[in-house]
Structure 1
Amino acid sequence: MIMLIIASLMFLWVSLLCSQYIEYSEEQLYASTVIACAFLNGCVPLLYEQMCDAAFPIPEGIIVGISGLITMLGGIFYILPISLVEFEDNSWLEWSILVICVIGCLVVLITPQRNGRSDLDLSIHVTKTTHYKRFGEDQNNFLVTEKKDTENA
């Protein structure tokens, strides 16, 4: 959440610079853009992890594949108007990135935090005796007893 907020603030800085509400300088534009992109790209794996936790019984590969597809389609629809229509004023691009980051912050804020995968790992306790059986051999030769380690639990 902090990374998305910082990225939103940096994109606000970019938007204010490009709209010349703040005195324009290339150094400020480069610094704000680099910081915004670094924080925005840095939170992508965390967002994927949150999506996988939210949809836990569904395998991670399916969730990441679908969300990657949606992300690519969103990027295509964001860039498509620029390539098809020539605008006199492209200032809406900077402001739309800011709005998208703020919407992302709100979505992360209202999404309930579930830790289904880690809760499942913590709830499994091995207390039964496991038997391994091979054809034609005595079962007692392959008896393995698993004990619960109370010190490390």
Structure 2
Amino acid sequence: MDAEVRQQELIEAHELRQAEEQSIAMATRLQASEKIQIRLSGGAEYFDMSVSEVASTWLVGQTARGKSLLPLEKIEAVRGLSVRSQPLRTSISSSLSFRSRLRGMGTEFQQISVETDAATYRGRFVAVGADWVDIETRGERVSIMLHHVRRVDVAR
């Protein structure tokens, strides 16, 4: 009888753990992580990142390219991700949209690199709109649709 009770307790504990894991968002696991490796959708290689800021829709960290802003929806896989989670820090920057965080980085650094599946655009930050970012590259203004942006880098 004790064995049956113990078996039932183990089953219930397993089901509870599974239910808890199903409610954990990627952002909260990223928040609990420090050094990770990321592969973006359409990307062939993983790259190293030291996590510095996380919001529900974006991630900022230090990479070999400098400071990088990534939309979470473009992350395909993560290595070294914490198995635990942390509630997202409530700060002014963590409540910003991807578009607002991009505007802040562009204003601060001016020279940015915007990577999409098709190309990488490097130039001077001009503006961010509802669904686009404009940069000036080689004297020409280029408008890039935000839903195609995989990452934004600013040099150190």
When Rg is computed on C-alpha atoms for both structures, the one with the higher figure is 1
The question of a shared fold, defined as TM-score above 0.5 by the shorter chain, is answered with no
Higher relative contact order (CA 8 A, sep 6+): 1
Q: How does the TM-score come out when normalised to structure 1? A: 0.29
Q: How does the TM-score come out when normalised to structure 2? A: 0.29
| Structure richer in strand, relative to its length | 2
| Structure richer in helix, relative to its length | 1
